[in-house]
Chains A and B, each alone.
Chain A
Amino acid sequence: MWMIEIPPFLPFFIGALFAAFTRGNLRSAILIAVPVLSALHLWMVPDGIHLQLAFLDYQLVPYRVDKLSLMFGYVFHIAAFIAIIYSLHVRDTVQQVAAMLYAGSGLGAVFAGDLLTLFVFWELLAFTSVFLIWARRTQRSYAAGMRYLIIQVLSGVILLAGALFYGAEHGTLSFEFIGLEGIAGWLIFIAFGIKCAFPIAHNWLTDAYPEATVTGTVFLSAFTTKVAVYSLARGYPGTELLIYIGAAMTCFPIFFAVIENDLRRVLAYSLINQVGFMVVGIGIGTALALNGAISHAFNDVIFKGLLFMSMGAVLQMTGRINGSDLGGLCKTMPKTTVLCIVGAASISAFPLFSGFVSKSMVMTAAVENGHEWIWLMLLFASAGVFHHAGIKIPYFAFFAHDSGIRASDPPNNMLLAMLIAAVLCIGIGVYPSALYSLLPYDTGYNPYDATHVLAQTQLLFFSALAFVWLNLKGLYPPELRSTNLDFEWIYRRATPVLLRNVFAFIWKADHSLRQSFHLRMDYLLAFVARRHEGRISGLLSRTYPAGSIVMWVAVILATYLILSFMTH
């Protein structure tokens, strides 16, 4: 059947083209139809490589289908579908076209069978998504988008360099297990790491996502980091270094999340924390751990999308997103409140919610493989994520002190999108077998045994108890209008200030050097003038009329002219 040859990014790119030239309901219909039809098509596609072509000496595979890429392909379709419904009310061609291209690029990347194709989609992800940030049309979003773009493109350039080295070392560009060997292995690892928001390379995420548009952030949260997770799962499973990087990623962002005021930035930090769990799973690299990492990526796209959607609804309806400005919204936004709590329960991994059935696999794999300190860190991070994403987000937005804002629930399309995500969160949590059957490995894992359910529930309830206790004691840090310094300070403040000072010093030194030279020249001229009153001073004197030299030049030119006539 010819249908089988269609790689899933094509429908999205074509959809983007149509979206650019249509308006109103027709555009809405096209936007919705694309992910639905493409998903149906993908569902029929059997495993295996579907598209190959030769480029120079290399075999390129722009479309490769196996269980790993299918998993991400499915969830990207779900995410695109939900986010498109969420943004149906938006009348902004830039955003809608960029969103379609972005989703298509994400799909292109996870079905890329070689490093060159991966690189192309890697860069497309950056160039298409940045418009979702710029579409906010503020000075801040412009600057944040610029920083985002620079870092993303840098990651792409490193990937390209790595791919070229890889091609030279191995004689092939096919994207399989890479491993940390040679320059190529490290370069590609760093490229993936930047997009994956590894520590100290993480600030592009917390910087840009909260500055994007209400609907743009929902798209952004789904694709970029998950493409990086997919790439790591493909190229670096079982790399021990990833365990430590991932564990660091689960722990450090939660401290920032606790004191952050912008609730969408809190979610950005918790996004890094969740990706950390996946990175640990990939680092452990056993069948169970990889299953955990992949299924957690699947679930995270949905529940993190739900949380970003609920906070987007708050921003849309109130025009505010700082915890210090919000509170008491549950009175007039009851539906959003409930849907947000479903997302919060899912990310916190409450039993019967989606996070529980996937995160537990990574935890179990960590303890079974003897990484007990890592396991303790993950346990701490689980309690912490509940604390900031599970409690703080809903509490400061919808409860806490009454801010006096009486905003209503958002438009129906936004509510519907959130409802779909919430149903999926609970559905996967209650009936995980459906999700497990899609996973690459069959491990026979069952999340719902009494020990595990009790342990997780205890952990979460006593974390909540800590929150209640700290709040009653007045020890909980209040939400304050503030910026918290993070690693980005190095490139947003320290480097510019350092450069400014260095250049100021150089200009100053240069200026004084010139001045002292001038001074000396003056002295010299004065000296010469005094010593040789008659002869040399005539040549060097400043009072000598400038007109005379013009005359001499004219004489020389005239001589040239005459000479050139004579030689002819």
Chain B
Amino acid sequence: MDNERKYFFDNPNNIKRLLYVFYAICILLLLMEFVIHRHISHSWENLWGFYPVYGFIGCVVLVLVATWMRTFLMRSENYYDDGNAVDAENNSATDTQASTHQTSNNKTGDSNVDD
């Protein structure tokens, strides 16, 4: 029954509206640079839009590098669990989805052991 309910984010238009507000704030923040008199402690801060550009590029680089790191760092979910299977070395990133047995994920450790 709960599934029938419509939530705010179920409507794609709401998400779109939210994004437009977000874009507007971003532009506003850029324009504020002309209004607010800034006192700076480093010459790089003089560059127009230093912080916005640095933040944007920094994050894009971060995500792209991290994604690339997956190509050589990613192993199956139970990589360390099956100690005997040295062959797991050779597991490529592709079969991670196929891992079948889910280990301890469902145990939260909050069971009432006292009673």
Contacts and interface: CB of A to CB of B under 8 A. Distances in A.
B51 A213 contact: no
Contacts of B47: none
A481 B99 contact: yes
Residue in A136, A315, A482 with the greatest tally of chain B CB atoms within 10 Å: A482
B32 to A, nearest CB: 6
A368 B77 CA distance: 45
Contact of B52 (A140, A406, A461): A461
B39 interface: yes
Interface in B97-111: 97, 99, 103-111
B109 to A, nearest CB: 3
A367 B41 contact: yes
A496 interface: yes
B80 A383 contact: no
A319 B105 contact: yes
B36 A92 contact: no
A387 B63 contact: yes
B97 A212 contact: no
Residue in B64, B97, B110, B115 with the greatest tally of chain A CB atoms within 10 Å: B110
Contact of B41 (A368, A462, A469): A368
Nearest to A95: B109
Nearest to B28: A461
Contacts of A460: 55
Interface string A139-156: 111000000000000000
Nearest to B96: A482
Interface in B66-94: 66-67, 69-70, 72-81, 83, 86, 89, 93
Nearest to A493: B80
Interface stretch (A61-69, A181-189, A449-457): A449-457
Contacts of A402: 10
Contacts of B113: 91-94, 137
Contacts of B54: 379-380, 383, 459
Contacts of B64: 475
Given A372-B42, A483-B80, A214 B30 contact: no
Interface residues of B, number: 73
B110 A375 contact: no
B22 A464 contact: yes
Contacts of B53: 462
A486 to B, nearest CB: 8
A484 interface: yes
B74 A484 contact: yes
Contacts of B51: 455-456, 458-459, 462
A335 interface: no
Contacts of B63: 258, 387, 466, 470, 475-477
A207 B73 CA distance: 16
A502 interface: no
Given A259-B74, A492-B80, A458 B52 contact: yes
Given A258-B66, A368-B41, A480 B96 contact: yes
A496 B66 contact: no
Nearest to B113: A92
A212 B104 CA distance: 11
Given A459-B52, A462-B55, A466-B59, A255 B65 contact: yes
13 contacts: A91-B114, A213-B108, A255-B65, A255-B69, A320-B105, A325-B105, A331-B5, A367-B42, A383-B59, A383-B62, A454-B29, A480-B97, A483-B74
Interface of A: 23, 89-94, 135-141, 211-216, 254-256, 258-259, 261, 315-316, 319-322, 325, 328, 330-332, 364, 367-368, 372, 375, 379-380, 383-384, 387, 399, 402, 404, 406, 449-451, 454-470, 475-477, 480-486, 492-493, 496-497, 500
Given A319-B106, A458-B33, 18 more contacts: A92-B113, A135-B109, A137-B109, A213-B109, A255-B65, A256-B66, A319-B107, A454-B38, A455-B45, A465-B26, A466-B63, A477-B63, A477-B70, A482-B70, A483-B80, A484-B69, A484-B70, A485-B73
